[in-house]
Structure 1
């Protein structure tokens, strides 16, 4: 343990320069909490919070509760995005890949671009991206087919002041009333909307622009949508997902873990251990996939669609 600590805190440790972030973030959060608690105590702000309690009224006919398919979609989405972030970071930081993959051009899917050798980490990242997008398309189709879209798409302008109200309540640690089984608060609604309909498509279209599947001979399109722009957007979008996951998991566990996990995985508004049990199993599956996502295990899978070598 001491050896690990010395490595991290030494000048040679790659994380040494990042260790200051943790105490800095804690100090900033403490200042913001104290400032928010003072701010919400002002008379004008009290009136604002009463007028806008933090949630908007849903359209008539909005569904109550969560169907079973949403629990499965939630798991697959979490599974893919965690591995996408991991593989994306590996692509960005791996200087000498252990193996490379070359597309098999004899398959059903052919492109005008000649096969290009890419690192096994990049192949894994792109494969996960494709699976994540397929899952996302299915998710959006089911959202609109079942009416669940009304829970995460703004339908009135008062969602914005209510989101500000919910944010102030969170920051002052006087958290808004949680009734996610019926209606998300407005800050949750806007966050889920941005994640599903803005951040996810941005991750896809920027990743596609940087991939080998993008047409190299589309001169006019490439001038309009430059690869430098895609690179400039893609990494911040990844950071957004990291931030979203940290905050999302923290609030799920801090605002009634058993009930929230039952909403997401158990399809129930009851307070019991069923949803937590499914969540725990899903964590084991994701941890196993994280550990097994090594060249030793990826090579035979990648070889099914191309040539793997040095």
Structure 2
């Protein structure tokens, strides 16, 4: 029971999840879902109507949504790319989880500090986040190196200004639900290519640079460098990059499942351009591994691991 200012007994205060009660979260979620459905329906019907009008109808008929790759571009998705995709997914999901914990955690379960310098300490969640960031960065360097060594870069790096009108055409097709042809084994449509390029060569480097700026490893006394990359600006960019990755992953997974799931999963997980269940079962196993990593990311597992690289003090 809670008491009013006058001293009388009041009703039990409803439990809160963050700033709102459970009922407010549910109500807000339902209202948000209805608004989103109505907005998406308006986009679909509005785009379908617009595509009946010239010159937009001729534009879409002229632009299929993709342009030819340069001569010598590789065909297919090699096994190393599938493994890189899995490692990247595994790490980025745990990075998002640990980053959210760091942002919202008020009483860390433990603190980590380098051996010989206990004054520089961080929460166990932050240590785990930075360790994952390091592995993700190394995996990214390997990925980009292999991209350029094997020619696979030509599939995600625009090589013609034609990418922009083709991407606009592909966006109109998506918005009207008359989706462009998907054949990632040979070529991505131009909208996919732009998003993959931004994700690999813009969002990922921004996440790394801003993450280092927010960490204990940034040189605090480098005044010129600190003015070039202000702390508050880096924090805001880091959060928005996280939001971008969440949205990108959600849309990416939805389109993989909606545009020929078995074939798409075979491309990425089984390195074959056929329609069977091989890629699906490998994907299912990868989800089990991902779930195991999610469950294992708790202090009882992280404390012994963190002690291999420094000192850990638990509450």
Structure 1 CA distance, aligned partners of 2:44 and 2:66?
Answer: 21
1:154-173 superposed matches below 5 A:
154-173=158-177
Equivalent position of 1:109 in the other structure: none
Query: What are the ranges of 5 or more consecutive residues in structure 1 without an aligned counterpart?
Result: 1-5, 107-113
| Residue 12 of structure 2: aligned partner | none
2:277 matched residue in structure 1: 273
- Indicate yes or no: 2:123 matched with 1:129: no
1:218 lines up with 2:229 in the alignment: no
Q: What do residues 252-293 of structure 1 show as CA deviations (whole Å, max 9, x unaligned)?
A: 000000000001010000001111111000000001111111
Give the one of 300, 303, 308 matched to 1:299: 303
Q: Give 1:12 deviation, angstroms.
A: 2.5
Within 5 A, what are the aligned runs for 1:83-232? 83-105=94-116, 115-232=119-236
Please tell me whether the aligned partners of residues 252 and 260 of structure 1 are also in contact (alpha carbons under 8 angstroms).
Answer: yes
**58, 68, 85: which is aligned to 2:79?**
68
CA 1:18–1:290: 2 relative to 1, 3 Å: farther
2:42 maps to which of 2, 23, 31: 31
Superposition deviation, residue 22 in structure 1: 2.7
Query: What CA deviation, in whole Å up to 9, does each residue of 1:117-140 have, x standing for no partner?
Result: 111111111110000000000000
1:47: Cα distance to partner? Answer: 0.6
Give the structure-1-normalised TM-score.
0.92
CA distance in 1, matches of 2:129, 2:77: 30
Aligned partners of 1:240 and 1:17: how far apart in 2? 25
- Which residue number corresponds to residue 12 of structure 1? 21
Is 1:233 the equivalent of 2:237? yes
Contact 1:104 1:115 in 2 (8 A): no
Distance 1:200 1:277, change over 3 A: same
Instruction: State the shift of 1:221 in Å.
Output: 1.0
Deviation (angstroms), 1:17: 7.5
Count of aligned pairs between the two proteins: 298
Bigger Rg, structure 1 or 2: 2
Q: TM-score scaled by structure 2?
A: 0.91
Q: 1:212 to 1:11 in 2, by over 3 A?
A: closer
Match for residue 264 of structure 2 among 247, 260, 264: 260
Residue 23 of structure 1 deviates from its aligned partner by: 2.6
